[in-house]
Every structure is written in C-alpha cells, then in structure tokens.
C-alpha cells in the first residue's frame, strides 16, 4: 500500500502523520505513506500500481483516475463529479459506458464511508486474484480509452456549425 498526498485539514493531516508513524514502525516493508506533493513520484506510483483508490468527497474534474488509466492502473473511485463521469463500473455500468461509446473501466462505490470503499476494493482485489487474464485485459482496455479533447472538440465544432445555420 502506498499513499501519496496531503490533506488541507490540519486535523486530518495529523491523523495521516500518526498513521504513517504507526505503519512505519510495524509494517515498514509493506506500506509507505508520503504525505507531501511529489509529481514525479506520483507517476512512478501510477506506473507500478494495480489499482488507484480515489475516495474523494467531491471531484469537479478528476485527473487522477485519467492519469492512472493511461498507465494501466485500474481506478477504484467514489461516484462523484468527474470520477463518476469517467469511471464506469465493470459490474454495474455497462449500459452507461456504451452510451458514451466506451467500455467499463473500473470500480466505483457510493457513500463516503469504509463500507463503500471496502465494497469496491474487495471486488477489485477479487478480480485481480480470481481472473488474472480478464484483469490484464481490463488494464489494456483502460490504457486504450481516449480521454483527450479530440472527440469533445469535434462535437463542439459540429454544434457550432449547426448553430451557425440558424
């Protein structure tokens, strides 16, 4: 387990510092918490991770999951904002993904509590353990999805030209 980041709330940040100290003393070889902003390290984490957990309370855009998918790291996200707009649950969102011209690409959950996170993570970990070939194809699929501005730009151009006719 690797955690990279910081919390804007000093109380939450202090809780993470305490957790980091506890984990370092008891599980120094299995967990690492880096409680800072480190862009180069984040890319190494994306590249080496099987999953990226983004349990945001709100997320207006959501670049984290998009970057993770480019590296083949499967997003496990809370259904909010840009996370919900871009992560289609492999079990529950096939129709919603198809409506966007995409395929399911991750795991999502409701609520901002431990039960929701556990639900999604348990499904993701089971997929990793129980269906490695399927999981590897999911990793390949998320890397191939196009989240660039190319398609939206063409849609906007079509809309603009249609509006000009009136």
What residue spans define the domains of the chain? 38-163
Please tell me the predicted confidence (pLDDT) of residue 56. 87
Question: Residue 105 has which token pair?
Answer: 């690409």
Residues, the chain? 166
Question: Does pLDDT of 6 surpass 90?
Answer: no
* Of 133 and 112, more confident: 133
Confidence category of residue 118, pLDDT binned at 50, 70, 90: very high
Question: Residue 98 has which token pair?
Answer: 């198809």
What tens digit of pLDDT does each residue of 53-79 get? Answer: 998 888 888 899 999 999 999 999 999
89: DSSP letter:
B
Mark residue 101 as left, alpha or beta (left: phi above 0; alpha: psi -120 to 50; beta: remaining): left
Question: Does pLDDT of 36 surpass 90?
Answer: no
What class is the 38-163 domain? Answer: alpha beta
Question: Residue 87 has which token pair?
Answer: 């992560």
Question: Does pLDDT of 29 surpass 90?
Answer: no
**What's the rounded Cα separation, in Å, for the pair 164 and 55?**
42
Averaged confidence pLDDT in the chain: 92
**What does the pLDDT average to over 94-98?**
96
**What does the pLDDT average to over 136-160?**
93
**What's the rounded Cα separation, in Å, for the pair 13 and 107?**
26
Please tell me the predicted confidence (pLDDT) of residue 99. 94
């Amino acid at each position: 387990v690797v955690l990279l980041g910081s919390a804007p709330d000093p109380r939450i940040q202090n809780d993470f510092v305490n957790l980091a100290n506890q984990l370092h003393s008891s599980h120094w070889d299995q967990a690492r918490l880096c409680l800072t902003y480190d862009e180069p390290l984040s890319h190494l984490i994306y590249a080496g991770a099987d999953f990226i957990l983004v349990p945001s309370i709100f997320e207006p855009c959501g670049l984290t999951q998009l970057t993770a998918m480019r590296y083949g790291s499967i997003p496990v996200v809370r259904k909010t904002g840009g996370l919900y707009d871009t992560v289609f649950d492999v079990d529950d969102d096939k129709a919603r993904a198809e409506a966007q011209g995409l395929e399911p690409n991750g795991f999502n959950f409701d609520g901002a509590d431990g039960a929701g996170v556990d639900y999604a993570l348990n499904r993701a970990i089971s997929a990793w353990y129980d269906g490695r070939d399927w999981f590897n194809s999911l990793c390949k699929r998320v890397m191939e999805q196009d989240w660039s501005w190319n398609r939206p730009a063409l849609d906007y151009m079509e809309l603009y030209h249609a509006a000009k006719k009136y």
